[in-house]
Amino acid sequence: MNIKPLRGEIVVPGDKSISHRSIMFSALAEGTSEITDFLSGADCLSTIDCFRRMGIDINLEQNHVLVHGNGLDGLKAPNQILDAGNSGTTVRLLSGILAGQQFASQITGDASIQKRPMNRIIEPLSKMHAAIQSDRANGCAPLSISPSQLRGITYHSPVASAQVKSCVLLAGMYANSPTTVIEPALSRNHTELMLSGFGAEITSHNFTATINPRPKLHAMKIQVPGDISSAAYFIAAALLIPNSEVLIKNVGLNPTRDGIIKVAQSMNGDIRFQNKRIVSGEPVCDLLVKHSNLKAANIGGTDLIPTLIDEIPIIAVMACFAQGTTVIKDAQELKVKESNRIDAMCLNLNRMGAQITPTDDGMIIEGGKPLHASSLVTTHNDHRTAMAMTIAGLAIGTKNPLDNSDCVFVSYPNFFDDLHQLLQ
Ligand code: S3P
């Protein structure tokens, strides 16, 4: 079969996690913040919508944003329930902020959000004396939050989750004493990096982060680095498809996010770093990726998994084409993402003839089985499944039919355009 190589260069869109935070922290700062290379994906637009509903003036043009912040106490009561859409980051981080407000609020999201676990934030926020409850008493959104005086706590989080950590630290800005979060492993640290840039007193060491209450946040200029989670699809495609060579420019390489690179290299992937630099306090570089004959890997460990948790769907695709058996473990968090990604990837890749067995905390993948086109990809409206399964099809020279291709708008609105550009 004649499989077209990927050649040329792309600039992946802005980082989703950093884009969310840039809006939230700018809204709570005094003055006008300017954000460039913002990710105008559906999730981050949900965050903008929530803050507009709380009186924040936000101008968005293309990927350029001006946020006119009103200070720590400058939000207004929303006149309707806040809608986070498909975005877990919006619900969880915003709940931490809402817990500290002098007004009551409600927040919810789409069908997927209404199934995702919120007790992981309700519990620590309640320990801080927040008045937060799950409206249906099922530990999920919609959540109702009433005003209360928060107290600082030391929270031992049972999960390495940046959403939980950030939620508690943001609530900590409104507490009466310092708040500390201790994680079992270090989750992405964009909140700590960016919030201290805005002027918060925040210290972090190993798995512990502490914030002092009542910071005075000042407006900033932020350039959002490219999203390594979006780059991951093109890293995989270039590695898998013979004769490919792709330069992926402006990729954020924060060490709490770069597990995909380490794993791809351990699988024999040819990835080179060019033009390493720091952008808005985050390490960034260009990645030159060339086709490689991949071999299987053992992927696990509580330190590694949080650094590539969102990339496991595409890593599973890579493993199908690698020689040998890949074992992914310690990744039970995959079950509570936008969909159950263990089940979704096993179902969809097995439909193509792959041999994958789901486990309680990951999957076992026998690489090198001959794959055929999928009859239908069941995305469960999950952007990462849609993009990973598109690359799986491309790697055998076919176009996998997706039951919903629009879900890529959540994190990568131009995904299909960028792909076609590299296939020219
Ligand atoms: C995110 C944290 C991660 C990640 C999600 C974005 C963030 O979730 O999977 O896509 O922006 O803080 P968890 O905190 O649930 O691990």
DSSP string, 405-423: SGGGGGT-TTHHHHHHHHH
pLDDT at res. 2: 72
In the chain, the domains with their CATH numbers are 7-14+225-422 (3.65.10.10), 16-223 (3.65.10.10)
Share of the chain above pLDDT 90, in %: 99
- CA torsion sign for 23, 67, 29, 151 is negative
Confidence of residue 403 (pLDDT cuts 50, 70, 90): very high
Annotated binding site: 16-17, 21, 88, 116, 161, 163, 310, 337, 341, 384
Atom of ligand 1 nearest to the CA of 17: 11
pLDDT per residue over 310-336, tens digit each?
999 999 999 999 999 999 999 999 999
Indicate if 310 belongs to the active site: yes
With a Cβ cut-off of 6 Å, ligand 1 is lined by 17, 89, 161-163, 166, 187-188, 309-310, 333
C-alpha distances out from residue 420 to 144, 234, 390, 412, Å: 44, 12, 12, 14
Nearest CA to 353 out of 315, 325, 393 is that of 393
pLDDT at res. 150: 98
d(CA 12, CA 89): 20
- Report the half-sphere exposure of 338 (CA within 13 A, side-chain side): 24
Contact indicator for 380, 402 with CB cutoff of 8 Å = no
Tokens describing residue 269: 């992937």
Interval 291-309 mean pLDDT: 98
Chain center to CA of 198: 21
Whole-model pTM over 0.95: yes
Interval 275-296 mean pLDDT: 97
Strand intervals (E) in 129-244: 131-134, 143-146, 154-156, 179-182, 202-205, 208-211, 221-223
Interval 396-412 mean pLDDT: 98
pLDDT at res. 1: 62
d(CA 132, CA 147): 9
Confidence of residue 230 (pLDDT cuts 50, 70, 90): very high
Average pLDDT across the chain, whole number: 98
pLDDT per residue over 172-185, tens digit each?
999 999 999 999 99
Ligand 1 centroid from CA 324, angstroms:
30
